[in-house]
Structure 1
Amino acid sequence: MAAPLAVRAASWYLPSHRIAVADLPELAALDPHERHTCRSLGIETVTADDTLGADGLALAAARQVLAEVGLDPADLQALVVVESRAPDSLMASEATRLQDLLGARKATVFSVGGLGCVSVTPALLTARGLLAADPHLEHVLVVHGNKPATPARYRHPVTVNGDSGQALLLGRTGPVRVLDIAQETNGAHWDLFRVPFRDRPVAEWREECRDTAAYSFQLALETRHRLRTMLTGLLHRAGLSRDDIDGYACQNLSAGGLAFTEDALGIRLLPACRDNLDGYGHLGPNDVLLNLYTALDRGQLPDAARTVLINVSPVAAWSLLLIETGHAEDRTHHL
């Protein structure tokens, strides 16, 4: 039997400054079709803090969550950093830099990633493994700072990126319990989106889609099939039916993406997904749990609820999380 996993506390750093998508400077360089696509994503504003990089965003969220639970950074036992898409320096360690900035001198520290916005899932799997391996380990802090990999925030034809930091304090018990995790990947799409950088200055970095038809049709069809099969398996393992699920949330790419997910699975997403898409844009690996907590804060879920969190990345990767919230938060659940 696998080890239990729960979110004891969670915090997000969401910059107060927002940029209207209509005012993005890169829109002037787009052709009419690209400009129309950008304005049709269902994103009105994105969060932005030009004074902070990915590590600064993650650090702000980490300090918030540790202050919330009254945990001194010096007493933190493990720190897992979800790597950024474009580190500030090659051959340096983002993970140990965050350790130093946070003051987590005693923590076991390393980074995970490689799956775009799905990268939060291997971070959760890693935290579960650490807790299973060491009975004296009480908590693992997972952090990520989301920052666009290029000067442009618009990723044609996918989404518009906002800035954010996320920090999840994980343990064996807590108010948000992870009952099951499913993850699948297909390496055939590993470079569907990429940013060539070695031969050009940062100001000229642009994200390229190798095949927009493959993204819009081939990957969409595969995603529909994968999500349906994964959801069936997830519920079967838990001995649940769709009637036992109180809500669904997913990552925020576009209004069309939310509608696609709803149609593919025959579900209705929690209203928090569209609200956060509209106001924050795409926050990478930080989207899906922010949407869950927003829904909880706004009373969009019952007091005791089971929720499925859906994450898709065009690398391509897919993940589902079966979450229980509400009563019996100190009860241990085994994955």
Structure 2
Amino acid sequence: MTTAGEDIGIGAIHCLLPEERVAVEDLPELARLTEEELRFAGQAGIKSVGVFPDTEPTELAARACRELLAAHPGDPDLMLHIGSRAPDVLIGSDAGKIAHLAGLTGIFPFTVDGLGCAGSSAAWALGRDLLNGDPSRRSVLLTRQPAHRRRPGAPPRHGDRRRGVRHDAGARRPAAAQGAPHGGGQLLP
């Protein structure tokens, strides 16, 4: 439990946004869509999508974490990664890879998975509960990989046509480091 007067909340948020944009009608993936999916794509109101060419989602997540922690120094105790529907590797740990690439040593990285869009809410709640459960913990870093295109013409990986990174971080006053169109942070008391 936290001590009296100690609140848990978001301390900071950091976002990475792509500079390169591709018009939806120019996406090579359109050739693989059914007629119904093509109609939906044309009527969805989305004119272009941002892309991070030749960059893996875990690399974007690590970059967002590094930039967040450079602006808001600290050593997170835990890293909760909200699992992607299409991880960078089939057998391995995106959370461990992100922690390694971000230079986070002495941290316990793990993944909250299988919750789709609800994964972020569950991770924020779990981060809060982990901080409340152990007053020695000062910071929880959350990361997420939501859907975005990696690069035009990139083949789908593990059946997923879109890839992205979202980093949500929490610490006993949460801060957030965000990668790709979304972001991430840190929960701080």
CA contact (8 A) 1:54 1:84 kept: no
Amino acid at match of 1:100: H
Distance in 1 separating the partners of 2:175 and 2:38 = 43
Residue 94 (1) aligns with residue 97 (2): no
Structure-to-structure mapping, 1:217-232, within 5 angstroms: none
The corresponding residue for 1:82 is 82
The corresponding residue for 1:46 is 49
Name the SS of the counterpart of 1:19 in structure 2. strand
> What's the TM-score, normalizing by structure 2?
0.75
Amino acid at match of 1:23: D
Residue 14 (1) aligns with residue 17 (2): yes
**How far 1:164 sits from its partner (Å)?**
4.1
The corresponding residue for 2:116 is 116
Distance in 2 separating the partners of 1:67 and 1:167 = 15
Name the SS of the counterpart of 1:22 in structure 2. helix
Of 46-55 and 21-30, deviating more is 21-30
Name the SS of the counterpart of 2:165 in structure 1. strand
**Cα deviation 1:153-186 (Å, max 9, x = unaligned):** xxxxxxx95x54333332333699xxxxxxxxxx
- In structure 2, relative to structure 1, the CA distance for the partners of 1:146 and 1:52 (3 Å cut) is farther
Residue 104 (1) aligns with residue 110 (2): no
**How far 1:31 sits from its partner (Å)?**
4.7
Residue 170 (1) aligns with residue 173 (2): no
- In structure 2, relative to structure 1, the CA distance for the partners of 1:36 and 1:63 (3 Å cut) is same
Superposition RMSD on alpha carbons, in Å?
3.4
Q: Which runs of 5+ in 1 are unaligned?
A: 153-159, 177-279, 290-329
**How far 1:89 sits from its partner (Å)?**
2.5
Residue 128 (1) aligns with residue 128 (2): yes
CA contact (8 A) 1:9 1:168 kept: no
The corresponding residue for 2:72 is 69
Of 115-124 and 142-151, deviating more is 142-151
Q: Segments of 4+ in structure 1 off by > 6 A? A: none
Distance in 2 separating the partners of 1:31 and 1:113 = 29
Identity %: 30
Structure-to-structure mapping, 1:23-42, within 5 angstroms: 23-42=26-45
- Paired residues in the alignment total 174
Distance in 2 separating the partners of 1:95 and 1:175 = 18
Name the SS of the counterpart of 1:111 in structure 2. strand
Higher relative contact order (CA 8 A, sep 6+): 2
Distance in 1 separating the partners of 2:175 and 2:60 = 25
Q: Which runs of 5+ in 2 are unaligned?
A: none
CA contact (8 A) 1:5 1:171 kept: yes
**How far 1:38 sits from its partner (Å)?**
0.6
- In structure 2, relative to structure 1, the CA distance for the partners of 1:91 and 1:29 (3 Å cut) is closer
Larger radius of gyration: 1
The corresponding residue for 1:5 is 8
